[in-house]
Amino acid sequence: MAEKKTVKRIAVKKQIATKQAVRKRAAGSRSATVKLRKKSATAAQVKRLLPPPGEVIVRMYRQGLGDCFLLAFATENPADPRYVLIDCGVHMRQTEGRKRLLQVMENLTAATGNHLHVVVPTHEHADHLVGFVQKGSPFLKPDPVSIDNLWLAWTEKIGDPQADRLRAKRGSARTVIEQAIKKTKERANRRIAGIKQLTDRVERILEFEKPDAKMFDAADRSAVEARIASLGGPGGANKAVLAAYLRRFGTAPPTALTTVGQRERASSNELALGLLGMLANHAEYCEPGQRLAIPDVDGVRAYVLGPPRAERLLKQDKPAKLRGSSEHEFIETYLSGGSASFAFALSPALGSGAEVNDDLRYPFAAELRRPIDGSKSSLPPLYRHSYLGADSAWRRVDGDWLGSAETLALNLDGDTNNTSLVLAFELGAAGVGPVLLFAADAQVGNWLSWRDQTYGKGGGTSCTADDLLNRTLLYKAGHHGSHNATLKFDPRARPGEGGGAYGLELMSDIIAMIPIDRAAADKNMPTPWRMPHRPLYERLREKADRRILRADGEIAPLSANELEDIKPGSTAWEAVPGKPGLFWRSADETFSAGTPGPLYYDLRIPIPNR
């Protein structure tokens, strides 16, 4: 018996010793990580990003829920590559987003020698643009980043009648939504059942429009406006155009919608575009089907896939049902000038317009109306005990009008995404080389429009959207992997009831990049955003053979027992599994704020001979 107790004590001691050793190793590992992070964060010099001759390096920064991609193309001079920056932002939900994006921009400016040859701001959402104007941005310094060319979607061009009209309607929609939220908060009616939850939902939808207040506040706004003013004066024609653009920002068009109120100042996104326009030597407003060249880079061209000119596609942000389904699945939004949005804009609840006794905007005659401030003191007993009774809350319609604000906000978000500038970089010989596809946040209508034009006309060789998708090597997943930003079918092509294969289904053997932080997407959400959308993520893993680079390094929403994604495991260049000739690496610098992890992933791709 004593022998058994002795053996048991020895076994317990061994278990304790083993656990202590594990803890010690883990602590050592954490300590090493912390030391590396501190060393990297305080490093005085970051190496220039220099691709080997005949190659391009794609750097995916991992700040979280937001896009920032740097492409370095080799030229004849190995020490003088051409740098293309696509977006620079982070969502307000990202933990320590301001600090993380600042660290990204410090690396970005050092890696490029403070000189960008092309900047591509894809669309007006803060998770793509706020870095340009946030506190401490290198783009605001007295000696700012030098920008040669600015590539913008045609939707941003002042003087283009269609673009002017669409921007005006977006501005009006924002005004109406902001006024609705303001009116709701001013009253005590947030005590009405469901109003607070609905107001919160509307504000969350608009979060893609706005930056975190810690990143961009009133003082920052004034500083950016002053900076833009200081850059004015004699310059290229694009500067005059963008100066006019900036002056127009914030003013709703002269329509009935202006009775709701005027936006007094530009948003952070509008200011970002204005600043970039002043910093750049030239602005190009890109049209679908256009072919663009990168200065001094041979064997590479960029095709403009979207946004489309067709407004029926610009406003289609949701997947359409198959033949025989309701036409309402083809969503109509504020861009159409529909009666629902117009009626909501004139809603008495917003305080717009003069009141008349028989005003048809009200459901009841004047003598039967009661304020919806939730107060019972001035109401007759019938109202207090029946309509306002606790057991009757489910029947009340006092706040139902705000539901239109939620619909309008959803449409505003989707239509802004559909104005995304989508680029396909073709490497090597035209019509045969591999393609790097950057889809920004393009949704259904934008994707469908790609088949409406051919690409490369006038260059000797033309190709179709299907050709480009078939040759896609790298795919930057649309809108953080959401359900309606990567297509698999074209409902207009109907060989059967399933429609025609399109989008991701035309790609094969790819590498995918998803700028997603699952924790940020889930934060404070009763119904979390499905980013990445599970069915899409599973299909991406199949198409990429699990070669998926994410900002968070997780595999959620998949379970932990699934095989992990394949990603760089070293700070030195290593071969990409299953892709001969391609190499990737992880940054040796890690984030000093928020979730630890490498600052970026690099992917090295050879440019085939022309």
State residue 178's pLDDT score. 64
Q: Which helix (H) or strand (E) holds 360?
A: none
State percent of the chain over pLDDT 90.
Answer: 42
Question: pLDDT of 28-66, one tens digit each?
Answer: 333 333 333 434 444 456 899 999 999 999 999 999 999
Q: Which helix (H) or strand (E) holds 107?
A: helix 97-111
Predicted structure pTM score: 0.77
CA distance 450 to 463: 11
Helix spans in 560-605 (H): none
Question: pLDDT of 202-230, one tens digit each?
Answer: 666 555 566 777 888 888 888 888 787 77
Residue 550, domain extent: 55-160+268-325+411-606
CA distance 60 to 514: 9
CB 476 within 8 A of CB 69: yes
Cis peptide before 557 (omega within 30 of 0): yes
Average pLDDT, whole number, for the chain? 76
- Greatest distance between any 2 Cα atoms in the chain: 98
Higher per-residue pLDDT: 242 or 270 = 270
CB 253 within 8 A of CB 299: no
In this structure, is residue 356 part of a structural domain?
no
172 band by pLDDT with thresholds 50, 70 and 90: low
Is 525 a residue whose pLDDT tops 50?
yes
State residue 514's pLDDT score. 96
In this structure, is residue 290 part of a structural domain?
yes
Question: pLDDT of 434-486, one tens digit each?
Answer: 999 999 999 888 999 999 999 987 666 889 999 999 999 999 998 888 877 88
State residue 195's pLDDT score. 60
CB 119 within 8 A of CB 147: yes
Question: pLDDT of 257-298, one tens digit each?
Answer: 223 333 446 778 888 998 998 899 999 999 999 999 999 999
In this structure, is residue 165 part of a structural domain?
no
544 band by pLDDT with thresholds 50, 70 and 90: very high
State residue 322's pLDDT score. 38
**Residue 288 belongs to a domain with what CATH number?**
3.60.15
Per DSSP, the residues of 424-463 read: EEEESSTTTS-EEEE-TT--HHHHHHGGGS-B-TTSS--B
In this structure, is residue 543 part of a structural domain?
yes
3-state helix, strand, coil in the chain (%, to 5): 40, 15, 45
Q: Which segment of 83-92, 114-123, 163-172, 485-494 scores lowest on mean pLDDT?
A: 163-172
Task: Tell me how many domains the chain contains.
Answer: 1
Question: pLDDT of 94-127, one tens digit each?
Answer: 999 999 999 999 999 999 999 999 999 999 889 9
In this structure, is residue 44 part of a structural domain?
no
In this structure, is residue 303 part of a structural domain?
yes
Class of residue 204 by CB neighbours under 10 A (exposed 0-12, middle 13-18, buried 19+): middle
Question: pLDDT of 334-391, one tens digit each?
Answer: 233 444 444 444 455 545 444 444 444 455 565 566 555 555 556 667 666 666 666 6
In this structure, is residue 364 part of a structural domain?
no
In this structure, is residue 319 part of a structural domain?
yes
